[in-house]
Amino acid sequence: MDKLIFGMSQVKFCGLEIGWFDEQGVTPAGTAATQVDIYAAQVKDGPVGTITSNPGKKAFTGNLIDMSAENLVKVIGGTKDEQGNWEPPEKWEKTGVMDIVCDSGHTIRLYNAKVTGNDFGGGVNSQGVLSIQLNIEVMKDEDGKRMKIFAPGIDPETGQPAVKA
C-alpha cells in the first residue's frame, strides 16, 4: 500500500497541530501550466516549438470546522481574549511550514504554505457546521523548496526513520 496516499489524520501548521477539517480533508486547487505554441511561416504542418508562458500554481483547499478561538489564531491569526472570544485579523492569512499527516503513513510537507481564509462555509443551521474555507498555496521557501512527500515511517524533521517513544 506504500503506493497509495490516503486519509488525513493530522495537520500541523507552524509546528502546531491544528483542528478538524470537514470530511473532504484537503483537495487539490492549483492551476495548470499554460503553454503557447510557436509557429514559423516556413513550417506548414504544426508548431516548431512550445514555450511555457505560465508555470501554474500548486495549491490545496479545505474547510476548517474547528472554530475554537485557539485554533483560528493558530491558522489565520487574530486574537483570543480571556473569555475565549476570537477577533479576526484584518488580513486572514499566515505563512509557515505545513505537514499533512496521512493515514497511509505518508507526510506531505509544504515548506512554505501560505494559508488564506477565503470566506465562511457550511452554515449555522441543523444541517451542518460553520467553517472557514482555506486556500493553501504551495510557495517556495528561502532554500527554493516547495514540498516533499515523506514515505511512511520517515520523520519530516530529520529525514530519517521515526523513533518510536
Task: Please state the pTM of the whole predicted model.
Answer: 0.87
pLDDT-based confidence at 4, cuts 50/70/90?
Answer: very high
User: Is a pLDDT exceeding 90 seen at residue 41?
Assistant: yes
Q: Give the CA angle between residues 9, 14, 18 to the nearest 5°.
A: 35
Burial class (CB in 10 A: 0-12, 13-18, 19+), 88: middle
DSSP state letters, 1-47: -TT----EEEEEETTEEE--EEEEEEEE--B--EEEEE--TT--SS-
Residue of 18, 31, 17 whose CA lies nearest to 117: 18
48-73, pLDDT tens digit by residue? 999 999 999 999 999 999 999 999 99
pLDDT above 90 (res 2): no
pLDDT mean over 30-59: 94
For position 165, what pLDDT does the model report?
61
Residue 163: the pLDDT is: 76
Q: What is the pLDDT of residues 147-160, one digit of tens each?
A: 999 999 999 998 88
Greatest Cα pair distance, the chain, in angstroms, is: 75
pLDDT at 126 over 90: no
What is the pLDDT at residue 87? 95
Sign of CA dihedral 108, 110, 115, 119: negative
1 pLDDT band (50/70/90 cuts)?
A: low
Tell me what the mean pLDDT of segment 34-39 comes to.
95
